[in-house]
Amino acid sequence: MKIIYLHQYFKSNKSSGSTRSYEFSKALANKGNEVNIITGSQIDEYDLGENIKIYSTKTQYSNNMNFTRRIMAFIDYILKSILIGIKIKDVDVIFATSTPLTIGIPGYILSKFKKAKLIFEVRDVWPDIPIELGFIKNKLVIKLLKKLELFIYKNSDQIITLSPGMYNNLLNKGISESKLSVIPNISNIPLYDSVKEDKNLIKKNLGIENKFVCIHPGTMGFVNGLDNILDVAKKIYEIDKNIVFILVGEGKEKNKLIEKKENEKIENVFILDPMPKQDVVNLIKSSDIGIMSVINYKILEDNSANKFFDFLAAGLPIMINYKGWQGNELNDYNCGYSCEYTNPSDMALKIIELKNNEELFNEMKINSKKLANQKYSLEVSLEKLYEVFNKVSIKKERKMR
């Protein structure tokens, strides 16, 4: 098959951020498909191999942009990706992955223009999240976005969701079960196993030798609620000064977090700048606990953040401050704890417990890796992805007859 893969924020292992599309595109190409990636990112030296071409709209985008500039970036990508896609001949499948939701617009237009099947991947359920969080309040805008969402879903041949909660959300909106699949994010075990672990070097560079490290890599935005992690760290510092927290990444809340750390003298927290994927992998492997946080909204429990699966691949016990399907996984496999957002002491005490209980800590490390292998390995994810592509391939063959 000839595929156009639309992903505005495509990343490789040389960049920071999600590499799901990078892994999927390589796997599809290895099956003999021709994959044409259209990204908004600046083109880097991607190690993609044969059967892959990459095009860039060179769309400027940052999480620090205001609402208007973000909208302009989305429009820029929509228009340029359509112009690029139209020039690609003999296309069989358009694979459009959100966010943003607007990725579905060039996906739909190109699928009609090329008479190709459309696979739409839902990474976050929009516009539900920004509406519930109060980011979008205009009733007309809300109505239009909801119509756009349903239009994209109904005109997609197959839809991939990243969690059971997202799957149920779409079912409740009347989307046919026959269209829907769940492929959570990937625990890239070979990537983590291939990186040499060097705890002493990493910890020496930060001046935290012999410390017990809790790590949070990724975006430092409002939704992530990282001030909650600082509250946990502050409570721990009163009890055990040998436990430290590393936050690595970028985002709108970063300066506020630095100010909070300094004003409240939270000395066991290190806030670092973004790193290439390989360095983040090494840092995660050099840590003891993976920690995740979101603000206290139920809809965010359906998220499928990459760091959860990175922690599993690294064999780390995981702490989260919310419930939902990930909390169930941690409980069912005994590889971490789902704590109360409104009670930072809960997470603080559980981290201290793990540090002091070597038997439990080692058991959770083993269980974490086991969960990665059994349910979230690249092989498991790719098997599900191939099933989705086989479905649209069969549909296309029937239509041609």
Q: What value does the mean pLDDT take over residues 187-193?
A: 89
Q: Are residues 263 and 350 in the same domain?
A: yes
| Sheet of 269-272, strands arranged across | 269-272, 243-248, 212-217, 289-292, 318-320, 336-338
pLDDT band at 200 (very low <50, low <70, confident <90, very high): low
pLDDT band at 114 (very low <50, low <70, confident <90, very high): very high
Do 127 and 136 contact (CB within 8 A), yes or no?
yes
Q: Are residues 62 and 160 in the same domain?
A: yes
Q: Are residues 17 and 136 in the same domain?
A: yes
Q: Which of 378, 9, 379 is nearest to 186 (CA)?
A: 378
pLDDT tens-place string over residues 363-374: 999 999 999 999
Look at the chain and report how many structural domains it folds into: 2
Q: Is the peptide bond before 100 cis (omega within 30 degrees of 0)?
A: yes
Q: Are residues 131 and 194 in the same domain?
A: no
Q: Are residues 108 and 22 in the same domain?
A: yes
Q: Are residues 85 and 215 in the same domain?
A: no
- The pLDDT of residue 185 is above 70: yes
Q: What does the buried/exposed string (b/e) look like for 288-307 if buried means 16 or more CB atoms within 10 Å of the residue's CB?
A: bbbbbbbbeeebbbbbbbbb
Task: Please give the torsion angle defined by the CA atoms of residues 138, 140, 143 and 146, in that order, rounded to the nearest 10 degrees.
Answer: -60
- Cα–Cα distance between 364 and 336 in angstroms, integer? 7
Q: What value does the mean pLDDT take over residues 49-71?
A: 83
Q: Are residues 331 and 388 in the same domain?
A: no
Q: Are residues 339 and 223 in the same domain?
A: yes
pLDDT band at 83 (very low <50, low <70, confident <90, very high): very high
* Model pTM score: 0.89
Write down the number of H helices and E strands in the chain: 16, 13
Between 133 and 182, name the one with better pLDDT: 182
- The pLDDT of residue 198 is above 70: no
Domain containing residue 256: 189-375
**What CATH number does the domain containing 269 carry?**
3.40.50.2000
Least confident of 82-86, 186-190, 395-399: 395-399
- Whole-angstrom CA distances from 73 to 61, 80, 110, 254 are 6, 11, 19, 23
Residue 401, pLDDT score: 45
Residue 108, pLDDT score: 97
Q: Are residues 172 and 212 in the same domain?
A: no
Q: Are residues 207 and 177 in the same domain?
A: no
